[in-house]
Structure 1
Amino acid sequence: MRNRPPTAAPHPAGPLLQYWQAEAVRLREAHWGPLEDRAACQAALRAPADLGVRILARAAWLAEHGELHDRLVQWSVGARWALAVLWLCACLAGIGTAAAVLGQSQVNLALALLGLLGLHALTFLIWLAGWLPGLPDSTALSRLWLWLTRRLVRGPDAALAAQAFLSLLGRARAWKTAIGLISHGAWTAAFLGALATLLLLLSARHYTFHWETTLLSPDVFVGMTRILGSVPGLLGFEAPSDALIAASLGPQPLAAGVQAEWSLWLIGCVLVWGLLPRLLALAACILHLRRRLARLTVDPGLPGWLDLRERLLPTHANLGIDRPAPAIDGAIGPAAPVAAAGGRAAVLAYELGHGLDWPPAQLPDDVVDFGRCDSREDRARIRALLRTPPAHLLFVCDARLTPDRGAAAWLDELRRSCPDLRALCLGGTPERLQAWQDALSHQAVPRISSLDGWLEHIGSVPHD
């Protein structure tokens, strides 16, 4: 992950983005192994003593200091554009359907209703049935939306952003609601385009409306018209009388006033049985989705988060002492944490091997010995001491060993915590010393030649 400059201001993240970042970090670590998160955990430990809050804080730090935050924002923008394109295409499809229905001057009302409302009624029933258990959780529109998003957003972590978002919706039990939002939004756009086209064509051209049948009796169409026109009639879209409905089955065109009544009835049916159900369903999906996402929580039992409990919620700080502290090599007594708080200077030995004379016999009173750093427990102890960092810190390393990525990461973390960090290399061949010099230069950590030189630097020379 690419590190941002230490002075870079973090981007504001809303609650959804915070959980999205945490899920993306969890999936990335599950797929490609743990990230280097020492500084992230140290930052998370400053948050309130709640595991979920600290998991979010750790993920936010990792996302901000890498490229993940920007990738998620980029995917979010691309997903919105894909949704806008999908709804625009739906609107154009509605315009085309209305134009096709009114393509001829003589309009068969049964076929017009089937063309304008038939597929809508079928898909609406399928959406309602989709809430039954055991049915698939995706539709053609949702798959098309994801496909458009993949085409608009490419590059590293694009697939991870999509996977994390879908996983988050699934865990919140909001994926079906999101599918409904996509579908109902598309149908709402289609009906808006269809209604606008109907009004335009019916205002600009002359049409004659009639029913056609070979098998059915006129009473069937009278009853159908009354049922379909019952609710539109409450809104002012009155259907013709029973006699005019029956007369519309004949070959002779009726008066222009009757045709106007039929046109209003057709518009009312499309409005009431098409647009309004989709609008109500869209509003319900939006409210339900917001309520579900507002209840998002961190499940510490998920793989990847379960392993963070001990690091983000140490037992000595939150659950009391349930076992003796591990033995620590080096001269650091029980009063060391107190002495370190607000201290002027401290020394720290990093993975020193046998044969090196450390710690020195005497250190000035204002220089604290942080002991040795040889294990994960040592690092946790030292991070606790660095919550109140000393003004000067001496990093003592074994130059007989080759510096690795762990040493570089530890140096970077110490450099971020302490205002004045310097390094002392003990032992080693010229080649190894040069390797350490290169590693220290890369981290912008000055190297000193001796302990006395460092004491002179901090102004604390011991007196005989």
Structure 2
Amino acid sequence: MWNRSPSFARPAAGPLLQYWQAEAVRLRESHWGPLEDRAACQTALRQPADLPGRILTRAAWLAEHSELHDRLIQWSIGARWALAALCLCAFLAGIGTAAAVLGQGEVNLALALMGLLGLHVLTFLIWLASWLPGLSGSTFLSRLWLWLTRRLVRGPDAALAAQAFLSLLGRARAWKSALGLISHGAWTAAFLGAVPTLLLLLSARRYTFHWETTLLSPDAFVGVTRMLGAVPGLLGFPAPDDAQIAASLGLQPLAAGVQADWSLWLIGCVVVWGLLPRVLALSACAGHLRCRLSGLTVDPGLPGWLDLRERLMPTHANLGIDRPAPAPGGAAGAGVVAAAGDWTAVLAYELGPDLDWPLAGLPDDVVDLGRCDSREDRARIRVQLVSPPAHLLFVCDARLTPDRGAAAWLDELRRSCPDLRALCLGGTPERLQAWQDVLARQGVASVPDVAGWLDPVRGARHD
């Protein structure tokens, strides 16, 4: 299941990605059972004794050594593209709506306001009502965004990435803020398309504005105009006076200055009652979302994490080998099952992520068998060793305590490769001595560094 780490170093994952990876790993193990995580737990145990931090470290290791990390990145990129496409469609819709409400020349102000602000006001009120307890925050735009994201990002773990992200938002109580960010972002894009279009068309063509009614009196329109134009007037958008408003109900043509005042009043209403509320709501949702996500934590009591407490926070420490490994079946070099080939290789055994690999100073003719961190890696290496190398360097992390699994793997490699040497990196004197004891029982010589291994290898080749 797990792939070898790439040779290049990934940038450090941000806090959100770390929690997202942990949630994705938790959901995967809840659905399909525990993963092979021995090396991941050993890496986590090197961190300070903090269970949430070790859970994040374990999840990061599992994600980095599989395709899960890349799937999450791909899903996040797809989600951004889906949001960009949604905002682009809203921008074009705003342009089309502004051009449609102005028509060919005569503009009914009541219908123009309904066309530009009617749906906006309705959806804005629905969004405000969604914050009431017990009401869903899902909107058409949010469902459309998720649908577009699913279309853009397909393949294994795509659904898991989405489920983990939504679960993370829900646990942080940031789901409604995220939905508001999508909705207000799209509406802001729509008004950013509508306002410039209104300015352009009103500057390039001549329009006449009027109110039309059968039931209402002129005083009703005067009151509505004054109410809607009060706040825009504070920002410098003029409005016709009472006489001009009343005259706009008739069929007689109005002066050009009155038409200009009506056009600026209409633009002011769109800016103040359309664009500004959406920008303010967008900023509020972004701030609330950032605040909620900054408080993300790991709840060790959740299913999938509860079972990790004993492994990541052990109540006892393993300070050495619990009992000696079974003695090898023969002396070093005995029992080789395949003829050695004329090539040289190196192998990393459960190296920590802070140790660079491949080793510096290796010649180009030395084959890198990669890292061996799981059963799948051992199976891959066994296939490569069908024709074993003449010389093999076993590189281990001496900060870890050698166990019977390491001893058995050394014995298997020794039986395949006639010249097996070991290089121990790091570790305390006690751990180094434990490794030396295991190597001595297996009949494997240790080398101090890469040069100390290469010199005898080159000498053997010349002989």
- The answer to whether the 8 Å contact 2:109/2:211 transfers is yes
Q: CA RMSD in A?
A: 3.3
Pick the aligned partner of 2:319 from 327, 337, 346.
Answer: 337
Question: Matches of 2:415 and 2:161 in 1, distance apart?
Answer: 36
- CA deviations 1:135-168 (Å, max 9, x no partner) are 1231110110011111111111111100000000
The residue that corresponds to 2:191 in the other structure is 191
Tell whether 2:167 aligns with 1:167: yes
Identity of aligned residues (%): 74
By relative contact order (CA 8 Å, sep 6+), the higher-ranking structure is 2
Question: Matches of 1:89 and 1:445 in 2, distance apart?
Answer: 64
Question: Matches of 1:204 and 1:307 in 2, distance apart?
Answer: 70
The residue that corresponds to 2:280 in the other structure is 280
Tell whether 2:150 aligns with 1:150: yes
- The answer to whether the 8 Å contact 2:327/2:442 transfers is no
User: Per-residue deviation at 1:415?
Assistant: 6.8
**Paired residue type of 2:75:** W
SS at structure 1 position matched to 2:319:
helix
The residue that corresponds to 1:141 in the other structure is 141
- CA deviations 1:255-304 (Å, max 9, x no partner) are 11100000000000000000000000000000000000000000001000
Normalising by structure 2, what TM-score? 0.73
- CA deviations 1:185-238 (Å, max 9, x no partner) are 000000010001100100000000000000000000000000000000001112
- The answer to whether the 8 Å contact 1:25/1:59 transfers is yes
- 1:42-441 aligned within 5 A: 42-316=42-316, 337=319, 348-349=324-325, 358=326, 408=378, 416-417=396-397, 423=408
- The answer to whether the 8 Å contact 2:127/2:137 transfers is no
- The answer to whether the 8 Å contact 2:2/2:376 transfers is no
User: Per-residue deviation at 1:10?
Assistant: 4.1
**Paired residue type of 2:28:** R
The residue that corresponds to 1:374 in the other structure is none
The residue that corresponds to 2:26 in the other structure is 26
Question: Matches of 2:420 and 2:128 in 1, distance apart?
Answer: 64
Unaligned runs of 5+ in 1: 318-335, 341-345, 350-357, 361-382, 384-403, 427-435, 460-464
Question: Matches of 1:241 and 1:297 in 2, distance apart?
Answer: 59
Normalising by structure 1, what TM-score? 0.73
- The answer to whether the 8 Å contact 1:4/1:64 transfers is no
- The answer to whether the 8 Å contact 2:327/2:441 transfers is no
Question: Matches of 1:110 and 1:92 in 2, distance apart?
Answer: 23
- The answer to whether the 8 Å contact 2:94/2:190 transfers is yes
Q: How many residues align?
A: 370
Question: Matches of 2:60 and 2:117 in 1, distance apart?
Answer: 47
Question: Matches of 2:239 and 2:295 in 1, distance apart?
Answer: 47
**Paired residue type of 1:14:** G
- The answer to whether the 8 Å contact 1:422/1:445 transfers is no
After TM superposition, the runs of 4+ consecutive aligned structure 1 residues lying more than 6 A away are 419-422, 439-442, 444-447
- The answer to whether the 8 Å contact 1:240/1:261 transfers is yes
Structure 1 residues 143 and 452 mapped into 2: Cα distance closer, same or farther (>3 Å)? closer
User: Per-residue deviation at 1:8?
Assistant: 5.0
Question: Matches of 1:107 and 1:208 in 2, distance apart?
Answer: 6
**Paired residue type of 1:66:** S
The residue that corresponds to 2:454 in the other structure is none
- The answer to whether the 8 Å contact 1:138/1:179 transfers is yes
**Paired residue type of 2:319:** P
User: Per-residue deviation at 1:445?
Assistant: 8.1
